[in-house]
Amino acid sequence: MKVSRRIWLAVLGLEAALLALALWAYPRLPETMVTHWGLQGKPDGWMPRFWGVVWGPALTALLALVYYVAIPWLEPWRENLGRFWDLYQKAGLVMLYLLALPYAATLLWNLGYPVDIRRVVGVTLAPLFWVLASLLAQARPNWFVGIRTPWTLSSPWVWHRTHVVAARWMRVLALGYLLAVLWPPLLMVAVGLTLVWAVGVTVYSFLLYRRRAGEPV
């Protein structure tokens, strides 16, 4: 499996844009930056300017290397990953671009622009969850992508059914984060429902395994 040249060019373009933004913003930022906000949109975390500027480009580069280099190389079930490789590549690119939004918003907030971080989180997570739902729906058993419980990894049928249901409800969560863009207090509700979803799909995979483990997809 090889990563498309277009994908790498898009990743490099994003990295270049983040570095350019960082270099432009650095001399204009305060010595201590706000880098974290609570669910009510109030600052609750700070760090020195250097690290507040560096983390965006650094994290993007690290995630790209892990996603496009490390995971395909380490994956023991490469044939299964190859069955949804095209979507895997495209979904990763969309996720990288979306995860750059909070970084840009952090810089803008510290530059004095009136950014509502809760809305930024909603704008980021709504399409991110939608893309992840599409990825889950097509994912085949592997060790890195998807809902990897002992029961999904032990039964192709359990994997398939769990991911179909999980993807369906993840799209509902995406709509919840979209609504949070319109009314930010809903962000707390969306985050709570995400935790419920995570526990729910784990329990669901266990119940499926107990009922019909080992059946083919």
Per-residue tokens: 180: 């949070």
- How confident is the model over 131-146, as a mean pLDDT? 95
Q: Which amino acid appears at position 74 of this protein?
A: L
- Residues with Cβ within 8 Å of residue 60, at least 6 apart in sequence: 14, 15, 18, 96, 99, 100, 103
Q: How far apart are CA 177 and CA 217, in angstroms?
A: 32
Q: Average of pLDDT values for 140-148?
A: 95
pLDDT in tens, 61-117: 999 999 999 999 999 999 999 999 999 999 999 999 999 999 999 999 999 998 889
At 174-195, the pLDDT tens digits run 999 999 999 988 999 999 999 9
Q: At what angle do helices 5-25 and 49-65 cross, to 10 degrees?
A: 180
Distance CA 61, CA 66 (A): 9
**How does pLDDT run across 22-71, given as a tens digit for each residue?**
999 999 999 999 999 887 778 888 999 999 999 999 999 999 999 999 99
Find the mean pLDDT for residues 9-34.
Answer: 95
Which residues are 33's β-sheet partners?
47
CB-based burial label for 211 (10 Å; 0-12, 13-18, 19+): exposed
CB atoms within 10 A of CB 183: 12
Q: How crowded is residue 139: how many other Cβ atoms within 10 Å of its Cβ? A: 26
Q: What is the structure's pLDDT at 215? A: 53
pTM, full prediction: 0.88
Mark 191-210 as b/e (b = at least 16 C-beta within 10 Å): bebbeebeeebbebbbebbe
pLDDT of residue 217: 46
